Structure formats: structure tokens, C-alpha cells
Amino acid sequence: PAQHFAGLAKAVLAREPSTQIALLGSPKDHAACAEVAAGLPDGTAVFNLAGATSLAEAIALIARAAAVVANDSGLLHIASALNRPVLALYGPTDPDHAPPFSDLAASISLRLDCSPCKQRECPLGHHDCMVKLTPDLAWQRLQPMLAAA
């Protein structure tokens, strides 16, 4: 959920207030990224670039990123191919199917009984595979990567 990405960004900003947050995705991700940006404190250097970059521009931004946090998507795998520190978040998708392979990579999947269902809409209506993947859990995995990068 957007509020989870915002919560993780707040943890990153608490550690390093000068961090710049770039939100990438397709035009259909723009509203969700706007929700993430709205959940961050005023004055945060956050850039909602969803739908505003070409693929080449997104690749260039990822190549310069200190770390990338992404769901199971093409941009996740681009970050992995560019050997960026990557935290891969798997909700309804299978973390064993195409995990990131960069030198600094971690995957999080709650591996609930109902997952991976591989559905965009939760057939059970609760979205627990994503809702219960909390910002704190993601921060625990991301923090050592930032320290090592």
C-alpha cells in the first residue's frame, strides 16, 4: 500500500534527511505515487516521476540510486541488472520465480498460505500479503544495504 511506501521513506529520511526519493512507474502508477508523496513531510525531496520518464530516463535514475525498493516489476529487474542494492517486495507474486540477483539484494515475501495467488485483486478480499508487509519489516532489510552501499 502507498502508506507503507511512505512509511519506509520516512524511516530512510529519519536516517538521512537529505535523501531524495524518486517514485517511478507507469502512468497508471501516478496516483499511487502521489499518495506516497502526500504521506511524506513537507520539504521532503520527493519526485513523482511515474509516467513522466522514458524507459531510458528511468534506467538512468535507477543506475544512480543508492538503493531501489520495488514490487515484482520490470523496474525491479532493471535495478538488479544494474547491480544496484535492491529490496524486492513480493505480495501476490512468487519470490522464487524471478528474484533479484544484484550483489546487495533482499526479497521479502510473507509466504502466507494464500500466496502466491498471482492475482491483481485479492480473491479473499484482504490483501494480507501486502498489508502485513509493514514498513518496519522492509526497513529492517533495507537499512543494512544502505549502510553497505
Taking only the tens place, the pLDDT of each residue in 79-93 is 999 999 999 999 999
Q: Decide: 84 and 102 in contact? Cβ < 8 Å.
A: yes
Rounded to whole angstroms, the Cα distance separating 31 from 122 reads: 20
What pLDDT does 148 receive?
Answer: 87
Tell how strand 86-90 and strand 105-109 pair up.
parallel
Burial of 27 (0-12, 13-18, 19+ CB in 10 A): exposed
pLDDT > 80? residue 149: no
- The type of residue at 41 is P
- The type of residue at 73 is S
Taking only the tens place, the pLDDT of each residue in 29-65 is 999 999 999 999 999 999 999 999 999 999 999 999 9
